Amino acid sequence: MSEHLTSHAWRGTDNLTGSLVGVRVLDLSRVVAGPLCAQMLADHGADVIKVESAQGDETRRLGPPFTEPGQAAYFSALNRGKRGICLDLTQAKDQQVIRDLLSEADVLIENFLPGTMEKWGLGYESVLSDQFPRLIYCNISGFGKSGPLGGLPGYDAVLQAMCGVMSINGGAASGPTRVGVPIVDQMTGYTAFSGVLMALYARNKTQRGQRVDATLFDTALSMLVPHGLNWMTSGVVPDLIGSAHPNIPTYDRFDVGDGQMFLGIVNDAQFVRFCKRIDREDLCNNPLFETNSQRMANRHALREELALALKSFSRAQLCQSLMEAGVPAGPVNTVAEAMQQPHAKARDMVIERPDYRGIGLPIKLSGTPGQVGRRPPRLGEHNDEIIQ
């Protein structure tokens, strides 16, 4: 280890918990997918050092709202549990800091344009795989290095458009519509997270690291379930269907007396129980609606019947009654209503501390549970701690 680093650059494992305690992660990524992947690793015990330029991760500025001056809530959602340093990777001395950190690191995550790390003398195949044979190198990009679009930049909404996600989201009035959360970025973060865990597991057997290649393009196409296979099988191009399901007519949003609810009826038994609960047993006894195929063939007539039948119910009362009968149903909540549900608190999905507020861990392990770590780092906050 060179003069640039103290002997305490990486944390010890004393008093840490989680399934990934002892794993050391260098997070060079920005925006959503890479930082989310690194945050999930930190949530489960990994020691994560986030490296930023002097300008900082773009999400620091994507406000309001801001959790503190210069730090948007957007950044706080993706960077807890990390320590942060500020480097200029165009400079040889800071490139050396990266190499020094990698001498004891297990994982590197980056989402620069393909070729950027090579330009800095930090390419995986050309340099790092030989110098650090146990390193797991996770690169996240829009399209990967190869193919007609290789090396091009990509952002969530652009990939939603290019990969058909927007074409099946929205209705006649709205036209193709972006999903309201950065779903491709987030799913790519989960894809990268899964790849890193698989590579760590494989390293236990091979003693060697490997490249984990996660792209927004591949992830977005993989999300086309069942629409992609429906088209490959039938040749029919999926169309905009609003909140409806292309294969299940009773899997949709419906108006009730005081708002909206979503029904999740996927089989005949659930449909029968539903009809009984709304006092419309005539519907499940009607030959037009007895099976899913028949309900699909007559979906418009069925929807008209349900629209009339549901007018007299309140969403809270009806959803509770249906769920008690084993029929999946839920109110269409606002974000505020969703976050304030008692079940969200019971599942530890709302974190409220004096120094940090955020969303809890979706992965819960019984023997080695993760936990929400330190608040997100301020820009360059830990330079003195990590770099001499």
Residues noted as catalytic: 185
Max CA pair span of the chain: 81
Is-contact 71 378, C-beta < 8 A?
A: yes
Q: How many angstroms separate the CA atoms of 276 and 2, rounded?
A: 73
Instruction: List, as one string, the DSSP characters of 1-57.
Output: --TTB-TTSS---TT--STTTT-EEEE---TTHHHHHHHHHHHTT-EEEEEE-TT--
Q: How far apart are the first and last CA of the chain?
A: 12
Please say whether the dihedral angle defined by the alpha carbons of residues 66, 220, 297 and 278, taken in this order, is positive or negative. Answer: negative
Q: For the range 227-235, what are the long-range contacts, defined as Cβ-Cβ under 8 Å and sequence gap of 24 or more?
A: 227/164, 227/168, 228/164
CA nearest neighbour of 22 among 8, 36, 10, 39: 10
Q: How many angstroms separate the CA atoms of 76 and 226, rounded?
A: 34
Query: What percent of the chain is helix, strand and coil (3-state, nearest 5)?
Result: 40, 15, 45
Q: Where are the alpha helices (DSSP H) in 164-223?
A: 183-206, 216-222
